[in-house]
């Protein structure tokens, strides 16, 4: 039955390329590694005390990132269904269907936001190609970013281009093309980042930035830092919105979920740390402010790239890789929307029709976000934020943690834990500890940690 439903989903979604174990790992790593690591992580670390943020972030990754990623993969593999229907499929009743809706809604809210920022990469890929930032100093680079992102038409075009590219990829199916491409591009991203690390470490005064990022100042750990780091952990690992459930559904039955989660987490964390090691020494060497905010990476990277050998081609190449890293994440986000539409229509809509509907809806969301930032609705503020900013804060600090909390309660307390498909199980002696640890973490540690962080963020409870 399980295998059948998986086959069905595979067939429906035309994902021929993800049959291999490596394919699943690459797809999951591709979803995890993206703008969250290279753009969001450094600017959040910069605003939240550098090393202190890194430390809290790493603790969050171990405490909830790992168990939640494993849970999502296991739920998906057992259900053979996407996020939207997996909870019903596993529990056999409708009580948990709201979680399917909630996850789908979360994906929807974050997708538009993600495409807007991917649009900034498209813009910078163009800027790098025409070499527009060559020779610019610190203040000019800052002004350049503001001018670019306040150009409504440009931002609309740049935001919609990646939607159309993602839609085209999903239209033809996430076939072996992406798998083969990722096998080449992911290692290239690592190589490129390593070269940039070397270049940055040779800059005069790089030690200050390194210390800022790697040496934690414990007095900087505040409730806001913990909340932001936890949110970033969900965002960066793509957990807490059931996305990995959909990927788990495509996973071969004999694939080790623990190992897969571990590799994905390791790669994702490595890219985030590398990004920090590139950004912070440069921030201090070039006189930027580490707490600059969302523009940080877009102003610092061009400054670094100008100092690389073969500056022009290095810039083009780097922004291309960044764009592709973003694209493997947008593919995963849009894939969930497409499959949810298909499941919602009970098979009446086929993949192509669902892709068209998803494209139209996402383009509309991108337009709303862009207009809320720069255009006619920029005066419109909810809780003091533009819609664009609000979507990010809402998703990372509330929607993702809430679905992660519900998922851990669902598996930890409401599902039969003797089920070998839902809880990691190994016959190897040395791995026997994994199962009780997993169960304990999911039942107690994850829910308590998330509730404490919530209460803390709301000011009801002080850490």
Nearer to ligand PHE, 35 or 449 (CB): 35
Least distance from C-beta 28 to ligand PHE, angstroms?
Answer: 10
* Of the candidate residues 15, 28, 31, 397, the single one contacting ligand PHE (CB under 6 A): 31
Nearer to ligand PHE, 41 or 96 (CB): 41
Nearer to ligand PHE, 242 or 315 (CB): 242
Least distance from C-beta 309 to ligand PHE, angstroms?
Answer: 29
Map residues 98-117 to x or -, x wherever contact with ligand PHE holds by CB under 6 A. Answer: ------------x-------
Token digits for 76? 């998906």
Map residues 221-260 to x or -, x wherever contact with ligand PHE holds by CB under 6 A. Answer: --------------xx-x--x-x-----------------
Give yes or no for residue 333 binding ligand PHE (CB under 6 A).
yes
Nearer to ligand PHE, 284 or 319 (CB): 319
* Rounded Cα distance, 220 and 290, in Å: 14
* Rounded Cα distance, 62 and 454, in Å: 19
- Which residues contact residue 90 at a Cβ distance below 8 angstroms, ignoring those fewer than 6 apart? 75, 78, 79, 415, 422
Least distance from C-beta 116 to ligand PHE, angstroms?
Answer: 13
Residue 40: count of CB within 10 angstroms of its CB: 23
**DSSP character at residue 17:** G
Nearer to ligand PHE, 32 or 245 (CB): 32
- Which residues contact residue 25 at a Cβ distance below 8 angstroms, ignoring those fewer than 6 apart? 260, 263, 264
* Of the candidate residues 24, 26, 28, 35, the single one contacting ligand PHE (CB under 6 A): 35
* Rounded Cα distance, 54 and 72, in Å: 25
Region near ligand PHE per CB under 6 A, out of 34-42, 137-145, 379-387, 402-410: 34-42
Cα-to-chain-centroid distance, residue 14: 23
Least distance from C-beta 118 to ligand PHE, angstroms?
Answer: 9
Give yes or no for residue 271 binding ligand PHE (CB under 6 A).
no
Binding residues for ligand PHE, total number by CB under 6 A: 15
Token digits for 433? 């500890």
Least distance from C-beta 35 to ligand PHE, angstroms?
Answer: 4
The residue nearest ligand PHE at its CB is 36
Residues 388 and 372: beta-carbon distance below 8 Å:
yes
Region near ligand PHE per CB under 6 A, out of 63-71, 141-149, 154-162, 326-334: 326-334
Nearer to ligand PHE, 42 or 199 (CB): 42
Nearer to ligand PHE, 27 or 227 (CB): 27
**DSSP character at residue 430:** G
- Which residues contact residue 266 at a Cβ distance below 8 angstroms, ignoring those fewer than 6 apart? none
DSSP letters of 172-205?
Answer: S-S-HHHHHHHHHHHHHHHHHHHHHHHHHHTSTT
Measure the CA angle with vertex 373, ends 367 and 374; round to 5°: 90
Region near ligand PHE per CB under 6 A, out of 51-59, 328-336, 382-390, 444-452: 328-336
* Rounded Cα distance, 122 and 120, in Å: 5
Token digits for 219? 């007095």
Q: Give strand pairing partners of 385.
A: 382
Nearer to ligand PHE, 69 or 110 (CB): 110
Give yes or no for residue 32 binding ligand PHE (CB under 6 A).
yes
* Rounded Cα distance, 137 and 305, in Å: 12
Give yes or no for residue 412 binding ligand PHE (CB under 6 A).
no
Region near ligand PHE per CB under 6 A, out of 32-40, 60-68, 143-151, 429-437: 32-40
Nearer to ligand PHE, 297 or 308 (CB): 297
Give yes or no for residue 34 binding ligand PHE (CB under 6 A).
yes
Nearer to ligand PHE, 115 or 286 (CB): 115
Dihedral of CA atoms 445, 450, 454, 456 in degrees, nearest 10, equals: 40
Give yes or no for residue 68 binding ligand PHE (CB under 6 A).
no
CA 104 to each of CA 83, 159, 223: distance values in angstroms, whole numbers, following the listed order = 7, 21, 29
| Nearest partner of 38 among 229, 268, 265, 240, judged by Cα | 268
Nearer to ligand PHE, 145 or 247 (CB): 247
Residues that bind ligand PHE (CB under 6 A): 31-32, 34-37, 110, 235-236, 238, 241, 243, 329, 332-333
């Amino acid at each position: 039955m399980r295998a059948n439903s998986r086959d069905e989903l595979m067939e429906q979604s035309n994902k021929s390329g993800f049959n291999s174990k490596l394919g699943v790992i690459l797809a999951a790593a591709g979803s995890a590694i993206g703008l969250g690591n290279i753009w969001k992580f450094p600017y959040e670390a910069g605003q939240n005390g550098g090393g202190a943020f890194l430390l809290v972030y790493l603790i969050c990754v171990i405490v909830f990132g790992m168990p939640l990623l494993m849970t999502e993969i296991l739920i998906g593999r057992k259900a053979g269904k996407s996020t939207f229907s997996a909870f019903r499929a596993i529990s056999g009743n409708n009580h948990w269907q709201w979680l399917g809706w909630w996850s789908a809604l979360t994906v929807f809210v974050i997708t538009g936001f993600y495409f807007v920022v991917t649009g900034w990469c498209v813009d910078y890929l163009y800027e790098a190609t025409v070499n527009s930032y060559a020779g610019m100093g610190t203040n000019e680079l800052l002004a350049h970013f503001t001018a670019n992102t306040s150009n409504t038409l440009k931002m609309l075009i740049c935001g919609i281009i990646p939607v159309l590219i993602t839609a085209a990829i999903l239209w033809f199916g996430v076939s072996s093309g992406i798998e083969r491409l990722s096998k080449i591009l992911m290692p290239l991203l690592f190589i490129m980042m390593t070269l940039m690390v070397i270049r940055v470490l040779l800059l005069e005064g790089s030690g200050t930035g390194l210390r800022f990022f790697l040496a934690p100042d414990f007095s900087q750990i505040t409730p806001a830092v913990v909340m932001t780091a936890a949110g970033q952990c969900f965002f960066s690992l793509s957990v807490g919105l059931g996305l990995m459930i959909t990927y788990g559904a495509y996973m071969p039955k004999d694939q080790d979920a623990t190992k897969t989660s571990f590799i994905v987490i390791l790669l994702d964390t490595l890219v985030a740390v590398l990004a920090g090691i590139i950004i912070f020494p440069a921030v201090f060497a070039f006189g930027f402010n580490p707490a600059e905010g969302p523009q940080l990476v877009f102003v610092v990277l061009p400054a670094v790239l100008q100092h690389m050998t073969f500056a022009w081609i290095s810039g083009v190449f780097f922004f291309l890789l960044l764009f592709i890293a973003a694209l493997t994440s947008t593919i995963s986000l849009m894939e969930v929307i497409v499959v949810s539409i298909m499941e919602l229509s009970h098979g009446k809509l086929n993949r192509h029709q669902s892709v068209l509907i998803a494209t139209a809806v996402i383009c509309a969301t991108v337009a709303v976000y862009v207009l809320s930032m720069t255009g006619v609705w920029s005066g419109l503020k909810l809780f003091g934020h533009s819609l664009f900013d609000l979507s990010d804060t809402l998703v990372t600090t509330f929607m993702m943690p809430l679905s992660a909390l519900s998922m851990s309660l669902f598996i930890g307390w409401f599902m039969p834990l003797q089920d070998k498909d839902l809880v990691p199980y190994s016959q190897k002696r040395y791995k026997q500890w994994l199962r009780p640890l997993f169960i304990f973490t999911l039942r107690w540690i994850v829910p308590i940690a998330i509730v404490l962080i919530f209460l803390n963020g709301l000011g009801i409870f002080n850490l």
